[in-house]
Amino acid sequence: MAAPVVLTGRMTRLEPLAMHHAEALAEAAEDRTTYAFTPVPHGLDAARGYVDRALAEQAVGRALPFAVVSAADGRVVGCTRFLELDHWQGPMVWPPVPGIPYGDPATAVPDAAEVGNTWLAARAQGTGINTEAKLLMLRHAFETWGVRRISFRADARNVRSRAAIERLGATCEGVRRAHSRGLDGVVRNTAFYSILDDEWPTARDIIELHLAAAVTVPRHIDRLASEAWPTASTAPGVSA
């Protein structure tokens, strides 16, 4: 299965999620004003449960979760993860068994994955941290793992998240109607997006341009115009 790894950028560090992050996650999530579509733990007990469930998904090879850390002050400001890890190597079997690597599970890497279950503290939104986090994850996926596809999904109502994904070169594959129950209890439609391996160089250039803008543009403008990646997810296991 995919091995935990630390991914480091100029302003962002992604650390393998661990139980010792729970208290900081609870603090990061105290301001709830931007989580209308996002399942974010509220309080320390909820944060511990959140981490515990994420680690259980990691233990069976279904996810690789990260704590998002601000490099400037070392504070935990949110979470993100790889999920829906899929393996296409080895002999063909039918029906396919997604998530089961061929060969040594300790060294296997996925051929496709999803990026999601992302949320950030209000103070970290619009700073470029999320943009750089996604650049680090996509670079690891395409350039270290060698994946063929990275997927994203968002509640179809989440116009901000969908526009952000599209600005960065991901292709909309369609909207699945009445796909799942949203965080607000409404049955939601889900928009699906992807970046393929041969599209990655173009997408990387676009993301780097957005990241440069996020670093140089004042926060109040950046927050309105160029926070590059969604933080919304409307149900556990459903990512934006």
pLDDT at 99: 67
Contact 38, 232 (CB under 8 A): yes
pLDDT at 221: 37
Mean of pLDDT values over 3-25: 97
Per-residue pLDDT tens digits for 63-96: 999 999 999 999 999 999 999 999 988 777 787 7
**CA distance linking residue 181 with residue 26, whole number of Å:** 25
pLDDT at 239: 38
What secondary structure does DSSP assign to 49-111, as a single string?
A: HHHHHHHHHHHTTSEEEEEEEETTT--EEEEEEEEEEE---SS--SS--TT--SS-TTT---S
pLDDT at 210: 86
Using CB atoms within 10 A of its CB, is residue 101 exposed (0-12), middle (13-18) or buried (19+)?
buried
Amino acid at 164: A
Per-residue pLDDT tens digits for 140-190: 999 999 999 999 999 999 887 788 778 778 999 999 999 999 888 899 999
Q: What is the DSSP letter of 202?
A: H
The β-bridge relationship of strands 76-86 and 63-70 is antiparallel
Q: How confident is the model at residue 217 (pLDDT cuts 50, 70, 90)?
A: low
CATH code, residues 7-225: 3.40.630.30
Amino acid at 92: M
